[in-house]
Each structure stands twice: as structure tokens, then as C-alpha cells.
Amino acid sequence: MKIYNTLTGAKEEFIPLEKERIRMYVCGPTVYDYCHIGHARSIITFDIIRRYFEYKGFNVLYIQNFTDIDDKMINRAKQEGITIFELANRFIKQYFKDFDPLNVKRASFYPRATDHIVDMIKIIERLIESGFAYELDGNVYFSIGAFKKYGMLSHKNLDEIPPTEEEKSVQKKNPKDFVLWKKRKEDEPGWDSPWGLGRPGWHIECSAMSMKYLGDTLDIHGGGLDLVFPHHENEIAQSEALTNKPFVRYFIHNGFVTVGSGEKMSKSLGNFFTIEDILKKYPPMALRFFLLSTHYRSPINFSEDQIVQAKLTFSKIQLALVYARQREVSSDPSDRLSNELEAVIQTTKKEFSEAMDDDFSTPKAIASINALVRYLNRLATLKEGIRSETLTKAHDTLLELCYILGLVEHPELSSEEILIDKLMNLIITMRNEARKLKNYEISDKIRDKLKELGVSFIDYPNWTLWIKE
């Protein structure tokens, strides 16, 4: 299994610290506003990576934080006349309202920065004691000059990056030294510390929370490409200065969602689409399928036309699943077609695993699934039957692979779904009997009433299937 590691700039064989467990930390959103499609890409990318590891037999300890204290949180709370805690509670609730319909599995833990202030203070104290940090007028800064490996992730030459006005306004040892603890300003929230009232800097939050739940060394640290510098670079510096151990074995970063002529989607540019707004217009799986259609490291350009196309393509997968589940067993199945389907199943499983083992290539994985989908949907139009065990195997394979990509809720049918299938088959039998007797009033009434409930029939020459709209 190969993973592109930002730390080395190359694909590497994945070897976890422990044989059967993976420690994985993903940077979550700052909860001051609605999540947009850029957030969705990152969250869904790492949801799929987590799912595939679990499919491979690993126990994944998956941590995703919520940043609930920073300048954006403070400013938004002031504007609304509420506390940062009230603001955070509202948008954390909204986060799950957005991502639950997108089939994002819940993380093992969702730590909030403000619940780990004491942990951050302890780390900062140790960094000061070891000479990696220093206090200046109630603020504490990390000294990048003391950490000789600074820049190992981003490979940036800091001499070529001019200091900002804010960096020049403070007499630090190095203008690029980053803040670990900020002195409290008037009307801002603050916590007691050895350096007076204040609050943590952004970078120290993730080091404290990741190491609290996962230990000194993580298998995987993930996030968007924009976090490589300075956020993840600074996390490495402060974490490895503290422990003198490697902080992360594999850094994984997803590419941007762009709009128009390739401009990055972001709140600061005002060119974003919220998840909530998109889900008012399109099914959740249309958005998820769209985001899977491009490799996670490549940029993906958003347009509603592509969401519509994703919806159409995903509907073909749904139809194939329905066919493989509902097709009545023939008394005289075709051995030739059954053997061909068996071969397609095996090829699909092999090519799917090869694609996902190659740095989680979801476009290639989808291509392998589509080969099975096309074959099943062609079989649906034929009169010849298929062996029941082969059809069941095709259904279970397709369901399992779609579950890995998060396109279905469960890797196998629930007892409720099995019961619904039986009831619907009974209704279809009754409708078909009415049609044979030319009692079209009854058959049409059955069809129309189910249509009102969001269920449609598709009539083939020798059989009928039903689908949820």
C-alpha cells in the first residue's frame, strides 16, 4: 500500500507504528461559520481513507478537533453579542447537520481547543524550560532558530518571505517566531497562566490535542493543502522540540476546491458555497460522488453542472444495486452470463483494491465499480436469468465497495431493508396480477400511491423493480 507523504514528497509504502492500529489526526474547522464545499472535500477525503483502513482490517483511532478559540471566533462572537462558547455550540451542531447526511463516520473523539488549555500550558512551560520558547511581555513565542529542522515539511526558505507588519511590530528574536500564548486584550476571553491572562495560539492547540489522544508519534496527520505552512510546519517544530521524537510518520494533504478560472474557494474571498445550501438543491450523495471523482491531491473545480452529472452517474450505481437485489431467480439461469458476471466481480474487486492501495485513487476505484455497474444494468434488460448465488455475490460486492467510499450507509442489508424488500415484492406481485387480469385501475392506483411515497416502478419485459426517488 502506497501513500503520498508530504513530508518526503514521494509515495511510500505505508507501515504503521502498530500492526493492527492506526493513529490518525485530522485538522477540523474553526467553528465560527457554516462549512463550505472546501471543508467537505477535506472531511470526506479522510473519511474514505479511514474507511479503507478499516476495510483492510485496521483499528483506526481517528481524532478530529474543533478550533473554538481564535481571532475569528472572538470577532464573530462580539458581532453577535454572544460568547465564543455559544457560537461554537451552534456551529458544531451545524457541522453534524451538514456531514451526517454525507455519510461521514463519527470520529473516535472530537476534542475542542478550549477543553485542553491546561494541556497547552504544560507544553509551553516545558518548551520554555528547554530553551525552545521565550516570554515577551505576557506573550510566549517559539524560537524557530532553536529548532534546526524547521522547514522540513514545507521546504520554505524563510529569508525569501518578507515579514508582515504584525511580525515587524514585535521585537522577537526572529520575526518568524510564532506565538504559543497570546496576552489577553481587553474584552477578549482569557485563561490564567504563568504569564498572566491569555489564550493559546492556533498551532499549539493541535499538538496538545493530537498527543493527548494519540501519543507522541502519529501514523497519519491530515488536512487541506493550505495547512502545510505554517500550521503543520509549526506543529512539527513545537511537538518534536518537546518530545525529541518524530511527530508524524505520514502527512496527507488534500487539494483545493476551485471555482471559475481556478480560484481557491474560501470564506476570505467570498466565493464559497455552503454545504447546507448545496444540500437544499441536490442529494447528499451527488455532492459526495462529485468530490470523489477527482484524486484527493488534485484541485477540483466546482460547478453545479458537475453535481448534476455526479447525481446521474450515482443513480446508475443505485439502479445496479436494486437490480442485483430484486431480480427474481430464473428456473433456467444462463451459465454463460453467470460466468461472465462472476469474472466481472473478481476483476472489479481486484482493480478497486489496486486503485485504493495506490494513494487512495478514488477515480480509478470508481472506474472499477462502474465496470460492474454497466454489466449489471445491461443484464437487467435481458430476458435470460442469472444464478442466484452469483447475483447475490454481485450485489454484496457492489454494496461493500460503495460503503468504503461512503456512498451507502451500511456494508450489508439491514433486517428492516430485507423486510421492506419482501413487502415490496408482494406489492409488485399483486400489481402484476392486476395487470394480467387487465384490472388497470387497481394496478395504476398501486403505482400512483407508491409514487406519492417516493417509490417508482421500472417495468422490464419479464419483471419489475422498484426504486426510491
* Residues 114-148: tens digit of each pLDDT: 999 999 999 999 999 999 999 999 999 999 999 99
Residue 26 identity (one-letter amino acid): V
Query: Coil, helix or strand for 469?
Result: coil
DSSP at 3: E
Is the pLDDT reported for residue 51 higher than 90? yes
Rounded mean pLDDT, 92-105: 98
The confidence band for 329, taking pLDDT boundaries of 50, 70 and 90, is low
Is the pLDDT reported for residue 61 higher than 90? yes
**Is 334 or 23 the better-scoring residue by pLDDT?**
23
Q: What does residue 296 show for φ and ψ, rounded to 5 degrees?
A: -60, -25
The Cα–Cα gap between 287 and 15 comes to 32
The Cα–Cα gap between 280 and 267 comes to 20
Rounded mean pLDDT, 275-286: 95
C-alpha cell at 57: 482490517
* Residues 213-238: tens digit of each pLDDT: 999 999 999 999 999 999 999 999 99
Is the pLDDT reported for residue 330 higher than 70? no
Q: Are strands 21-26 and 178-183 parallel, antiparallel or unpaired?
A: unpaired
DSSP state string for 66-122: BB--SHHHHHHHHHHTS-HHHHHHHHHHHHHHHHTTTTPPPPSB--BGGGGHHHHHH
The confidence band for 331, taking pLDDT boundaries of 50, 70 and 90, is low
The confidence band for 424, taking pLDDT boundaries of 50, 70 and 90, is confident
The closest of 328, 310, 329 to 370, measured between CA atoms, is 310
The Cα–Cα gap between 303 and 310 comes to 11
Is the pLDDT reported for residue 417 higher than 90? no
C-alpha cell at 61: 483511532
The confidence band for 185, taking pLDDT boundaries of 50, 70 and 90, is very high
Q: What is the structure's pLDDT at 161?
A: 78
Q: What is the structure's pLDDT at 380?
A: 86
Verify cis geometry, omega within 30 degrees of 0, for the bond prior to 411: no
The Cα–Cα gap between 164 and 176 comes to 9
- Three-class secondary structure assignment of 146-191: HCCCCCCCCCCCHHHCCCCHHHHHCCCCCCCCEEEEEECCCCCCCE
Is the pLDDT reported for residue 262 higher than 90? no
The Cα–Cα gap between 394 and 372 comes to 8
Q: What percent of the chain has pLDDT over 70?
A: 98
140-144, 169-173, 286-290, 312-316: segment of lowest average pLDDT: 169-173
Is the pLDDT reported for residue 100 higher than 80? yes
The confidence band for 385, taking pLDDT boundaries of 50, 70 and 90, is confident
DSSP state string for 315-376: HHHHHHHHHHHHPPPPSSB-HHHHHHHHHHHHHHHHHHHHHHHBT--HHHHHHHHHHHHHHH
Q: Are strands 21-26 and 218-224 parallel, antiparallel or unpaired?
A: parallel
Q: What is the structure's pLDDT at 158?
A: 83
The closest of 217, 218, 173 to 62, measured between CA atoms, is 218
Residue ranges of domains in the chain, CATH in brackets: 2-292 (3.40.50.620), 304-413 (1.20.120.640), 415-469 (no CATH)
Rounded mean pLDDT, 388-395: 93
44-53, 130-139, 324-333, 386-395: segment of lowest average pLDDT: 324-333
Other C-beta atoms lying within 10 Å of the C-beta of residue 216? 14
C-alpha cell at 234: 509549526
CA 115 from centre of chain: 24
CA 54 from centre of chain: 14
Cβ within 8 Å of residue 348, ≥6 positions away: 368, 369, 371, 372, 397, 401
Q: What is the mean pLDDT of the chain?
A: 93
Query: Coil, helix or strand for 232?
Result: helix
Place of cell 454497466: 374
Rounded mean pLDDT, 191-202: 96
Rounded mean pLDDT, 180-199: 95
Q: What does residue 246 show for φ and ψ, rounded to 5 degrees?
A: -60, 135
